[in-house]
Amino acid sequence: EGLMWANYFDATIVIFGLVDVLVQKVALPEE
């Protein structure tokens, strides 16, 4: 189960990273 949790944790980090990039593009539109 430990390995499964590790993979899930890594996937969560990647997802949050992508969301953070999208949020920055929306919050800071190109001028």
Residues 6+ apart with CB under 8 A from 20: none
Q: What is the pTM of this model?
A: 0.56
Return the pLDDT at 16.
97
CA distance 12 to 5: 10
CA pair distance 22, 8, nearest whole angstrom: 21
pLDDT for 2 equals 75
Looking at residue 5, what is its pLDDT? 86
Question: What's the pLDDT tens digit per position in 1-28?
Answer: 678 888 999 999 999 999 999 999 898 8
